Structure 1
Amino acid sequence: MLCFAYGSNMSTQRLAARIPARFVTTALLSSCRLVFHQPSGDGSGKCDIVPASDQSAVYGVIWEVASHHEPTLDRYEGLGVAYGETWLTVTDLAIERQFDVQAYAGNVTSPGIRPYTWYKHHVLAGAREHGLPASHIHTLERIGAHQDFDAERPALEMALHGHAEPLVRSA
């Protein structure tokens, strides 16, 4: 299965901590925008994609996921509860080839919630790692985030990147 990651799963380290996957390419999803309004069980906002009528687009990473790892990824993503499965057509950033991909789209939204700084770091790390456009990275940098007061969770999440603390500020 080809999976389009637009949030924290863009980060190789983040995804590898969940399942093995093979990087395919970076891609663009037209006529959509990225929002952080998907409520998580930890009280923070996670990424979601929503249709947009303007020239908005969402950048992401295409991963090839073996069929026997799909159920594990579905559990991490809360398939059927937090997210639903959708199929999209995205365009390769390098050669403009189109791919039909699976993605997770939010089932429940809560406008106004913000991500934790460690989650935002995963998203930014993946975007930078895969060379997504500077304008997209700048947009991600401007997203407001807040500190997670669970002492263990941020340390565990940041250890994936070899850091003790998120390298993004809360806003």
Structure 2
Amino acid sequence: MLCFAYGSNMSTQRLAARIPARFVTTALLPAYRLAFHQQGGDGSGKCDIVTASEQSAVYGVVWEVASHHKVTLDRYEGLNAAYDETWLTVTDLVGDEQFEVQAYVGKLTTTGMQPYTWYKHHVLAGAREHGLPTTYVRALEQIDARIDPDTERHAREMVLHGLDELLVRGA
């Protein structure tokens, strides 16, 4: 099955730490916007997609996931508790081909949420790795993030990218 990742799962390292998946393409989801208002179990903001004007769009990565691994991904994403799933049509950034994809949509949204710096780093790493448009990456860079008070979790998450946690503490 094809899954559309628009948050931390855009990062190959992040997703590979959870499940095996095959990269298919980068894609655009029109008439949606990205929001960091999904309430994470750790008290921070996670990514969500929200319907918006026709001029808005969310960029992301299409992954092919085996059905037996999808169950594990559903567990990580908190399917039916934190997120619901939906089916959407996205357009390939390279050849204008359309794909029917599964995506997670937030259920526990709260205004004023901020991601932890390590979570924002996963999102940015995936966006850069897959060559999302520069203006989109710059907008992601402008998202306010806060330091995770759980320094062990911060270090655990940052090691996925081979980064010294002290160097990226505020990144």
Mark yes or no: TM-score above 0.5: yes
Q: How does 1:44-55 map to 2 (within 5 A)?
A: 44-55=44-55
Instruction: State the TM-score, normalizing by the size of structure 2.
Output: 0.97
Deviation of 1:27 after TM superposition, in Å, equals 0.0
Query: Take 2:12 and 2:169, find their aligned partners in 1: how far apart are those partners?
Result: 18
2:56 matched to which residue of 1?
56
Q: Map Cα deviations across residues 14-48 of structure 1 (whole Å, 9 max, x no partner).
A: 00000000000000000000000000010000000
Read off the aligned partner of 1:53 and give its amino acid letter: S
RMSD value over aligned CA atoms?
Answer: 1.1
Q: How does 1:102-121 map to 2 (within 5 A)?
A: 102-121=102-121
More deviation, 47-56/61-70: 47-56
Deviation of 1:122 after TM superposition, in Å, equals 0.1
Deviation of 1:108 after TM superposition, in Å, equals 1.5
Read off the aligned partner of 1:78 and give its amino acid letter: G
SS in 2 for 1:61: strand
Deviation of 1:76 after TM superposition, in Å, equals 0.2
Unaligned stretches of 5+ residues in structure 2 = none
SS in 2 for 1:160: helix
Read off the aligned partner of 2:44 and give its amino acid letter: S
1:37 matched to which residue of 2?
37
SS in 2 for 1:48: strand
1:8 matched to which residue of 2?
8
Deviation of 1:99 after TM superposition, in Å, equals 0.2
Matched, 1:73 2:81: no
Q: Map Cα deviations across residues 130-158 of structure 1 (whole Å, 9 max, x no partner).
A: 00000000000000000001021000000
Conserved? CA contact 1:84–1:106, under 8 Å: yes
1:93 matched to which residue of 2?
93
Q: Map Cα deviations across residues 30-76 of structure 1 (whole Å, 9 max, x no partner).
A: 00000000000100000000000240100000000001101100000
Conserved? CA contact 1:120–1:168, under 8 Å: no
Matched, 1:160 2:138: no
Conserved? CA contact 1:87–1:100, under 8 Å: yes
Read off the aligned partner of 2:163 and give its amino acid letter: H
Instruction: State the TM-score, normalizing by the size of structure 1.
Output: 0.97
User: In percent, how many aligned pairs have the same letter?
Assistant: 72
Read off the aligned partner of 2:162 and give its amino acid letter: G
Read off the aligned partner of 1:17 and give its amino acid letter: A
Deviation of 1:164 after TM superposition, in Å, equals 2.1
Deviation of 1:169 after TM superposition, in Å, equals 3.6
SS in 2 for 1:33: strand
Query: Take 1:24 and 1:6, find their aligned partners in 2: how far apart are those partners?
Result: 14
Unaligned stretches of 5+ residues in structure 1 = none
The total of aligned residue pairs comes to: 170
